Amino acid sequence: MLWKLKLAGVAQYGPVDADEPLSLCDLEAAKVALLYENLWQPVVSSLVVAAFTAAILWSAHSPVAVMAWFLTLGVISLLRLVFARWYEQGTASAHQKRWLYIFSAGSLGSAALWGAAGVLFFAPTDPTQTAALAVIACGIAAGGTTTLSPVKWLGVGFISLILLPLAAVFLLRATMLSILMGIIVLVFLALMLTTCIRFHRIIHDNIALKVSVESRKAQLQECENRYRSIFDHSPLGVLHFDRNGVITDCNEQLLKILGGTRDSFMGYRMLDRSANQQVAQGVRDSLEKGSGYFEGTFYLPGAEKGTPLRAIFNGVNCDNNHRIGGMAIVEDFTERTRHEATIYRQAYYDSLTDLPNRRLFIERLMSLCKESSNRERTGVVMFLDLDRFKMINDTFGHAAGDDLLIQVAKRLEAHLGDDDMAARLSGDEFVMLKLFDWPFDDRAEEMAKACLETLRSKLGGFYHLESQQVEVTPSMGYTCFNADECDHAEILKQADVAMYQAKAQGRARLCRYRPEMRDVMKKAALPDRVTSLIDR
C-alpha cells in the first residue's frame, strides 16, 4: 500500500521510542499518504457522475453554465490527479503540511462546485430533476465521508460545502415539500458528519497502530542489525543454544577458536553424557540460575588437541520471563596460556640449562616437607660445585663455560627419577633432590651414598669443549633426611655446609653432612677458608 511506502514521517523523524508518545509527524504523514492512495478512483467516479449530471441538466438550464460548471470540475480533478502523481513519485515527501493543503484545496474546490450546482441548477418547477440533483449531491457527500475521514476537518468541510447550500435552498423555498426535503438533507448531513467523525477515530487509531508497528519493526530491525554486526565481527566466539542445550547458531570467530565447521556445531548437544561435563554444568547453571562459567581446555569430539578457553554462559528469557535458551561468550586463552607458560618458565627455570631454578627447587622442597604421605621415604639433597670452573671459563671463554654447564645439566637430568629434581642455583652450583622409597635408616643412607657415588663418576670425566676434551670434576656435599620430618631451610644449610667441606678437602670429593662440620667451619679462620676455596 502507498501509505506503507510513504511513511515519510517515520523515515524522516526516525523510529518511535517505546517509552515516548507516537510522533504527530508520523501520524500526519501516514494520513496524507492514505488520502493520496488510489485517488484516481474517487476522482474519476466524480467526473463520471458529473457527466451524467450535466446531461440531466442540459435541457433544463443554460448549456453554457452547465458546460462551464463541468469543465471547471474537470480541470480541478485533473490537477488533483497530477499532484497525486507527483506525490507518488516522492518529489517532496518531507513537506507533509504542504501536500495536505494541496489535497484539501482540490477536495474543497470540488465540494464547492457540487454545492454551487445545488444552488445554480435548482429547479422548483421540475421535482424529478430536483430530486435527482439532491440524490446525486448526497451520494457525492457520502463518498467523501469514507475517502476524506482520515483528516476530520477536511471530511466535515467537504460534506458541509455540498449539502448545506442544497438544504438552504430547500428551506428558503418555504413550501411544505421543500421544507421537508431541507430537513431530510440536514438529517442526512448530520448522519454523514457523525459517520465521518466515527470513521476518523477508527482510521486515526488504525493508522496510529500501524505507524507504531512499523516503527517498532524498524527498531527491532535496527537492534537485530546491530546485534548481527556484533555477532559476526566480535573478536570473541559467540554461540546460541536452546533450553535443551542444543547449539542453534554460532559466529565465525567461534569456528576459528575451536577449529571446527558450522555443520559440526549446529545441533551439537552440550548436555549429553558424552559432552564435556564441565561445559555441561555451565550450560545447566545458565538455564537454571541465569549464568554459568567454564574455564579450561575444551576438546571437540574426536579431537586429539584441545583449546584453552573461557566461556561465560547466560540464560535468555522470553516476555513472560520463561527461559527459552541461552548464549555463551567464548574467549580463546591459547595466547594467554602461552604467555603464562613463558612467564612461568622465566620465573622458575634457568634460561641457560633449562633446569629449575633456586625458587622452584625451594618450593618443591617445602611442598615435600609439608606432605603427610612420605613417612616411609628418605630424601637426599646434594649440592654440587664444579672444580676449577673459573679457570676453564677464563681459558676457553664464556661460551665454553656455558656449554659445560649445559652438558652437566644433561648428565644430571639423566640420573633423575620420577620424583627427583635437579636445579641450577647460580654460576657453577647445582642442587639435586632425590627420593628413595625406603624408611630413613642406615640402609637408606648406604643407598643414597652409592647412588651419589655413581652420579659423581658420571659427572666427572672429560667434556667436549671448543674441539677439545677437558677433564672436569665435581665437589659434592649432601644430607639425608626423613621426608616426613624435615625443615627445608635446615636441609639446604646442611647440604651447603657439606659441599663446602668437600671443597675444603680437595677436588672430586663426596661429603655427607655431619653436625661437627659446622663447628669446624666456625673455628676455621676466614683467610684460610678463602684460600681453600680459591680454585672453585
Greatest Cα-to-Cα distance within the chain, rounded to the nearest angstrom: 155
Judge whether 120 and 168 are in contact, CB under 8 Å: no
The rounded distance, in Å, linking the Cα atoms of 370 and 367 is 5
**Residue 22 DSSP class:** P
Judge whether 369 and 435 are in contact, CB under 8 Å: no
Q: Is 428 a catalytic residue?
A: yes
Three cell numbers, residue 149: 475521514
Three cell numbers, residue 536: 672453585
The rounded distance, in Å, linking the Cα atoms of 234 and 221 is 19
How many Cβ atoms from other residues are within 10 Å of residue 14's Cβ? Answer: 14
The rounded distance, in Å, linking the Cα atoms of 139 and 158 is 12
The rounded distance, in Å, linking the Cα atoms of 258 and 264 is 11
Catalytic residue among 428, 441, 442, 528: 428
Q: Which residue, chain included where needed, has cell 445545488? A: 118
The rounded distance, in Å, linking the Cα atoms of 132 and 418 is 117
Strand pairing report for 247-250 and 237-242:
antiparallel
3-state helix, strand, coil in the chain (%, to 5): 60, 15, 25
Mind telling me the catalytic residues?
428
